Structures are given as structure tokens and as C-alpha cells.
Amino acid sequence: MPRPISAVVHTAALTHNLARVRQRVPASKVWAVVKANAYGHGIARVYGALRGADGFALLDLAEAETLRALGWGGPILLLEGCFGPEDLALCDRLNLWHVVHCNEQIDWLAQHRGNRAQRVFLKMNTGMNRVGFAPAHYAAAWARLDALPQVGEITQMTHFARADEADGIAEAMRRFESGVAGLPGERCVANSAAVLLHADAPGVAGDWVRPGIMLYGSSPTGIAPDAAHWDLQPAMSLRSELIDVQHIAAGEHVGYGGTFTAERAMHVGVVACGYADGYPRHASTGTPVVVGGVPTRLLGRVSMDMLAVDLDPVLAAGVRPGVGTPVLLWGRDGDAELSIDAVAHAAGTLGYELMCALAKRVPTRVD
Ligand SMILES: *Cc1c(COP(=O)(O)O)cnc(C)c1O
């Protein structure tokens, strides 16, 4: 028998979450953001469920090739654009649209001898201060691109630093509007947080939106009840089983470093899941976990291949746990549900990081 851990990608949830994007911004075209191997879900696994999107956005050239090999003939956007001049030949061959965020990328376009007009998304830096042209330099970059015979349509784009905050985009939108004033073309500004929190603010829905995390059923705010509040469904479940049960005396410790001390005699379950599976090592005592359908908590430190759980709430609920009892680490299993955002919160991170960290060694299936 294989080690009992497994992950499940829920395609109906992906389709539902894409429909939620459409409901929030009915007039916008939708990029399904599938970077980082579809946030850890696997591009090939999510492709069928998300092909109702208008395009796919990612940043690895190899992932773009994967999508074309899967049969996607529609738009693909490279969110970080080209990393070197030779990438433009691949953009020609695969018909990839690409972000332009610096002058070097314009230089490469100017020197490129290709066979089709390149579709570019010109990125403005509106306060993230990561990549993009400052508002004051944006029109000049736009004019330089527009003058190149190698360049076709130019879309105006920015990325918000604080869209997960109630008043997080007003200043960025003000900068954006000042930088694009008078320029023609489509616009694309909103990530998941902007779609969920700011879709009604002027200009935010734009012509295109770029949701990622909400497609996977986790909240960009990191606040556990938010995903359900927005009617998003978890697209990934991580499940395992108990591989041992210990009955320990009061005063005994659990796990490396003995960071958990039993206050009274108690039952401890050992789960086949550790940080080498992608479970966060920084999750500590109290992190929620579901054992035999009963909510309980993690105990002590997560190790590479195992973690420990408190079985007393499980016993109190009338379930007799033993080797083989199912454990839900996040997602859902039958009637049991455990928000990935709640687990992430307990580990001091976000659902994004947990999904992306799902390890290759975890067998993953689609349902
Ligand atoms: C990752 C990314 C997105 C999607 O962000 P979410 O918070 O997952 O919705 C959108 N735009 C750009 C430029 C990105 O890099």
C-alpha cells in the first residue's frame, strides 16, 4: 500500500469560482492566472475546468508551451514578459502576449525580426515599486512601443500592492489614470482582491481582469471566513491517515524539541504528512485539522514526514481513531471542510503559499 497521503483537485470548484469572477465583473474578459503550475494544482489538471476563461496568464515559458500542447489556441499572457531577446521568437511561435515593464524589453522588441505583430501589456508602477514604468514615464514608453512596427495592440496595465484593503486602491488608481491620460487601448488592472473588494470602483473592472487565488477558492485577504463569504469553493484538498496512535501520560512531550507538553493523560495521533509534503513547518500546536470527521488540533512541531494531532476531541465525539482513520489537512472530504486559509493563518502565511508548496511526492488526482 502506498503512503496514505494524497491531494485532490476539485474541477467543479474551479469552474464555480471562475463563474464567480464572471458574476462580479460581467463585462470584463478574464485571464485565469495559472502561474506557478496553477498555484500548485497542476496546469494540466486545471486546464479543462478553466478553459471557459478568455485567456491564461502565467510567467514560465515552459508553462506556456504546456498550455499550447494541451490544445489551448486562445490568448496566453506572460506576466513578467520576456527575460531575454531570444524569448521573442518563442512569443512568435506560440503566439504569446507579453508584459513590457522596462526599457530593455522595448529594446529587444526594436531589434526583433519576427513574423507577427506582438501584443503587449505595458505595465505601470503605481506604488508597488516592484516592476513597471512610473506614471510620469508611461506615455513615453507607450509612444516608443507604438512607433515600432514589431508591436501591435498595446494594453494598459498595473498591479495593486494593497487591493486586499478596503481603501487600498484609490491612490494607485489616481496614479494610473494620470499616467494613461489620453492614451488609447484596453485596460487591465484587477487581481482577485480587486475583483472581490473593488469591482464597483471606477475603472477597476476594465477590459480584462487577472484573478488567480480566488479561482482556487482561497481568499487574498488571508481571513479564513472570507472565501466562504464570497462563495468560493476550495479547489484543493490535502488528505492523509493516522499511521499510529499513542496514549501518553501527563507531563510527556510531543515531537522534536518537546514543544507540546500534555497537561493530562491523552491520546495522540500520528499523521502521514510533514513539511516534505508541503505542509507548513511553522504550523504549531493549535493549528486546525480534522480527524475522522471531527475538528481537532495539531500538537508540537511538524516534522519532515509526520505530524501529531490531539485525539481526545475525536474520542469525545464518539469516533474511535486508529491506524487508517482519515485525516483532512485542508480542503474537504465528504461533509468535512477545513479552510486552507485557516491552516495558513495558524502557520503565519497565506493560502497562496500552502498551495504552491504542495510537494511533488504527494500523489494528486482530479475529481
Ligand atoms: C499573480 C498575479 C495576479 C493574480 O493575483 P491573485 O492575488 O492571485 O489574484 C495578477 N496579476 C499579476 C501581475 C500577478 O503576478
The finding on whether 123 has its CB within 6 A of some atom of ligand 1 is no
Residue 64: give the domain boundaries. 11-225
- Residue 1 covered by a domain: no
In the reported structure, the alpha carbon of residue 249 is separated from the centroid of ligand 1 by a whole-number distance in angstroms of 49
- Residue 290 covered by a domain: yes
The whole-number pLDDT of residue 17 equals 98
Q: Give the position, in ligand 1's atom list, of the atom nearest the Cα of 159.
A: 13
Clarify whether 35 is annotated catalytic: yes
266, 311: one domain: yes
Last residue within a domain, chosen from 225, 258, 288: 225
The whole-number pLDDT of residue 115 equals 86
The finding on whether 192 has its CB within 6 A of some atom of ligand 1 is yes
In three state form, how does the secondary structure of the chain look? CCCCCEEEECHHHHHHHHHHHHHHCCCCEEEEECHHHHHCCCHHHHHHHHCCCCEEEECCHHHHHHHHHHCCCCCEEECCCCCCCCHHHHHHHHCCEEEECCHHHHHHHHHCCCCCCEEEEEEECCCCCCCCECHHHHHHHHHHHHCCCCEEEEEEEECCCCCCCCCCCHHHHHHHHHHHCCCCCCEEEECHHHHHHHCCCCCCCCCEECCCHHHHCCCCCCCHHHHHHCCCCCCEEEEEEEEEEEEECCCCEECHHHCEECCCCEEEEEECCCHHHCCCCCCCCCCEEEECCEEEEEECCCCCCCEEEECHHHHHCCCCCCCCCEEEEEEEECCEEECHHHHHHHCCCCHHHHHHHCCCCCCEEEC
The finding on whether 211 has its CB within 6 A of some atom of ligand 1 is yes
299, 181: one domain: no
Last residue within a domain, chosen from 203, 225, 247: 225
208, 256: one domain: no
Count structural domains, the chain: 2
Divide the 367 residues of the chain into consecutive groups of 10 and give the mean pLDDT of each group: 96 98 98 98 98 98 97 98 97 97 98 95 97 98 98 98 96 98 98 98 97 98 96 98 98 97 98 98 97 98 98 98 98 97 98 98 97
pTM: 0.97
19, 150: one domain: yes
